[in-house]
Amino acid sequence: MALRRSVLGGLAGAAALGGGIAWWVGRRDGAAYDAAAAQTWRPPDPAEQPALRELVRCATLAPNSHNTQPWRFLAVPGGLRLLPDPARRTPVVDPDDHHVFATLGCAAETMLQAAPALGLHAGIDVGAAGEAMLRVTPGAQRRPPMAEAIARRRSTRAPLDPAPLAAEERAALVAAGGSDPSVGMLLLDAPAQRAGLAELILAGNSTQLRDAAFVAELASWIRFSAGAALARRDGLFAGASGNPVLPEPIGRAIFPHVFTLAAETDRMARQLAGSAGFAVFAAERDDPAHWLAAGRAAQRVCLAATVMGLRTSWVNQPVEVPALRQVLGGWLGLGGRRPNLVLRFGHGPVLPASLRRPVEDVLVEGQA
């Protein structure tokens, strides 16, 4: 009896010690995460040299699918080539690399907006296969609001204020999304439009959650702990999505039990109801150059929203499920155009930021 009591006492003590160590590690990593996030999310800094390198750092702050950061930047005479990183594809959710090129578009737009803050003038050439070259020359130094917004933009996966935007806020989003004639943006904020789109997003969500390969790919990019997020500096940090931060093995063990169809449908429905409106982007052609253009337009809208203190979040489920993409295109009357990307927006809370890999990891040959 005494032996059993002492064994149990030992186990309880070990559990308490284990819990204490986990708590201490969590606190330490949490503080390190916050420091890394603050260091990551700095606005364009003209004091940083060389300026091309700083431009690449700004590019890495762009939104990107699953935070895989599927980009590389090659320093060449006259500027930078933007290249996809095939090792960071997500073949289940994005089999044709549509999101990879849309992500390159987000990065390109971020550099174009950051350039004046670094005393640079930038322009871009894009071939049909999505091969993009950013041409950079010295320019006048200015700090436009969109450049300042680069470091404040986040994907905010939380319910936002469903109240309609002020007329000037709405007009600014329409202007930002409509400046490239090759990409159409539909802003859906009437109640019937919001309800119709929400139904398609929820249908896409259910289809994806029933697909074991989709869930496995998503899980492989989730970072449950601050320590794992810090070690890799990529992926979807649980805290940045408003989820509990857990020791990595515990997060992975409980994920299948908490990431259920019912729970995620409820969560997504609350986020959709908590949206002032949606923006759907549809480029005039279905090729990598136009996927990239759609990404540029979406990032312009994200930055314009950020300038006004609005939050944005991506809800691409209905463009990721091919059958629903067709339905969405028909419902919107796109006349055969592929709907590329879907954003929601509204005023709302600030969630923890995600991390990025350092410039050294993405600047090829380190020539800048």
Ligand X SMILES: Cc1cc2nc3c(=O)[nH]c(=O)nc-3n(C[C@H](O)[C@H](O)[C@H](O)COP(=O)(O)O)c2cc1C
Which residues in this chain contact ligand X in the complex, by CB under 6 A?
63-67, 99, 102-103, 106, 154-155, 157, 236, 295, 314-316, 354
In this structure, what token pair is assigned to residue 163?
Answer: 């109240």
Nearer to ligand X, 116 or 281 (CB): 281
Pick the closer one to ligand X by CB: 188 or 315: 315
Q: Could you write out the DSSP letters of every residue in 26-94?
A: HHHHHHHHHHHHHHHSPPP-TTSSSHHHHHHHHHTTS--GGG---EEEEEETTEEEEEE-GGG--TTT-
Give CA–CA dist 105/95, Å, rounded.
18
For 217-362, where are the E strands, in sequence order? 222-223, 236-237, 277-283, 311-314, 341-346
Tell me the β-bridge partners of 283.
Answer: 183
Q: Phi, psi at residue 186, to the nearest 5°?
A: -105, 125
Minimum gap (Å) between residue 54 Cβ and ligand X: 18
Point out the residue whose Cβ comes nearest to ligand X: 63
3-class state of residue 1 by DSSP: coil
- Cα end-to-end distance, the chain, whole Å: 72
Q: Edge-to-edge, what's the strand order for the sheet holding 277-283?
A: 183-188, 277-283, 341-346, 311-314
CB closer to ligand X, 243 vs 354: 354
**Distance of closest approach, residue 57 Cβ to ligand X, in angstroms:** 14
Residue (104 or 124) nearer to ligand X, CB: 104
Shortest gap between Cβ of 140 and ligand X (angstroms)? 29
Residue number with CB closer to ligand X (247 or 295): 295
- In the complex, the smallest distance separating the C-beta of residue 9 from ligand X, rounded to whole angstroms, is 45
Beta strand extents in 264-310 (DSSP E only): 277-283
Q: Which is nearer to ligand X, 102 or 289 (CB)?
A: 102
Report in angstroms how near the CB of residue 65 gets to ligand X at its nearest.
Answer: 4
Cβ at position 39, least distance to ligand X in Å: 15
